Chains A and B, each alone.
Chain A
Amino acid sequence: MATTEEIRTELADIVNEVTGIPAGDVQLEKSFTDDLDVDSLSMVEVVVAAEEKFSVRIPDDQVKNLKTVGDAVSYIEKAQAA
């Protein structure tokens, strides 16, 4: 089972690939929209890449609840455990 930090690191790489934001900025407490300036379309790209990477399903109606990097990491952790 991947640790929280491992998931955050891999997610940070995805955010970096999609948006160019430095991976080091993608910390758990950061808000995707307010702090990282990830817009809704980039968020979709991040989500699709994360689904592949972590073998989970993140439906569109759940994406709006993923406000911070920590929200996304814990969603992925729960989905992997399910």
Chain B
Amino acid sequence: MSPQAGTVAWEMPTGAPHAAILGLGVHRAKRVVPNADVIAAIDSSDEWIQQRSGIKERRWVGPEETLESMALAACEQALAHADIDPAQIDAIVVATCTHTMQTPALAAKLAHLLGTQAPAAFDISAACAGFCHALSLGSDMVRAGTARHVLVVGAELLSEMTSKTDRSTAFIFGDGAGAVVVGPSETPGIGPVVWGSDGEQYDAIRQSTDWREVLADEHPVMPHIAMDGATVFRWASFEMAKVAAATLDRTGISVEDIDLFIPHQANMRIIDAMARAMKLPEHVRIARDIAEQGNTSAASVPLALGRMYEDGTAKSGDIALLIAFGAGLSYAAQVVRIP
């Protein structure tokens, strides 16, 4: 006789009281591409690009770099910074929209290259909002006890998916990767996520052409990221400022309590408009990595944090508000303690 359903107690894992970021790693694509190198194809100027976006130069991959190599370098650095052995990693979550193999996931390859021991490994698709989505998953896994250490990665090779002649996007994007190790903590290190989507604006940012249409073309070309600039600017600057405020509310802290504001590096004008709308106090340091890196979609938040580390703007123990947003239109935000 088998026991009646519901009478046998199932063993469920016990998670950590809290999750925290234990280490950070970044990789910036090696080729520095100044505005001077992109203006001819869009009949523009350095001044015009800087005024519209705050971008002075962007990083694009050199001949020896790939999405995989950038992600791997960021992961190795994050593990070293966290002082965690690859064998301790139970899950790898990669946020990317520029992995050109639809299957298998980049995460599985990274798991192999890093020398981990059979972790759960998968990619997620949430475009520019991907890193904060993946960070939330990692935090929830650690707290639920389904993984003890999670490698959360944002990696993008956008220069390949950039139209060099589209005046609204040719100068925006960059290449790079960032990774963090998420693990157990006695005190809160990653706050509750506020996330969501606005499917009514599903096509405001998009791959220019469906693969089927690409292949039907006599001379197929790589699709590029296209967007409706004004629509995205309005949504990002004003709606996302509200999401940022809601995130502080949900965490139970005020704007006075944060040291760093690290928004997705979409456009300096969006960063400035958000900061104004949020009425950020003087003491809050704002990430402005986009000026030298360009918009790296899912990699932008960890890359921006990396720069703040390097130049001393961010210190261990600082409280940072992260917010990422993009195609979907999708968004995710949370408060974190800097490792």
Could you tell me which A residues sit within 8 Å of B by CB distance? 39-41, 43-45, 47-48, 60, 63
> Which residue in A39, A44, A48 is a CB contact (below 8 Å) of B52?
A39
B230 at the interface (CB under 8 A from A): yes
B122 at the interface (CB under 8 A from A): no
Ordered nearest first, which 9 A-B pairs have the shortest CB separation?
A44-B234, A44-B233, A41-B269, A60-B231, A44-B230, A41-B233, A48-B238, A60-B230, A40-B230
Interface string of B27-50 (1 = CB under 8 A from A): 000000000000000000000000
B230 touches A41 (CB 8 A): yes
Min distance, Cβ A65 to any Cβ of chain B, angstroms: 13
- The chain A residue with its CB closest to the CB of B273 is A45
- The chain B residue with its CB closest to the CB of A42 is B269
A/B pair count, beta carbons within 8 Å: 26
Min distance, Cβ A29 to any Cβ of chain B, angstroms: 24
B237 at the interface (CB under 8 A from A): yes
Within B73-131, the residues touching A (CB, 8 Å) are: none
Residues of A within 8 Å of B199, CB to CB, are none
Residues of B within 8 Å of A41, CB to CB, are 52, 229-230, 233, 267, 269
B51 touches A39 (CB 8 A): yes
Using A40-B229, A45-B273 as known contacts, list a sample of 14 further A-B pairs with CB atoms less than 8 Å apart, ordered by residue number in A.
A39-B51, A41-B229, A41-B233, A41-B267, A43-B230, A44-B230, A44-B233, A44-B237, A48-B234, A48-B237, A48-B238, A60-B228, A60-B230, A60-B231
What is the bound-complex CA distance between A48 and B239, given in angstroms? 11
A45 touches B230 (CB 8 A): no
What is the bound-complex CA distance between A24 and B233, given in angstroms? 27
What is the bound-complex CA distance between A41 and B50, given in angstroms? 13
> Which residue in B228, B231, B237 is a CB contact (below 8 Å) of A45?
B237
What is the bound-complex CA distance between A82 and B228, given in angstroms? 28
What is the bound-complex CA distance between A39 and B230, given in angstroms? 11
Residues of A within 8 Å of B228, CB to CB, are 60
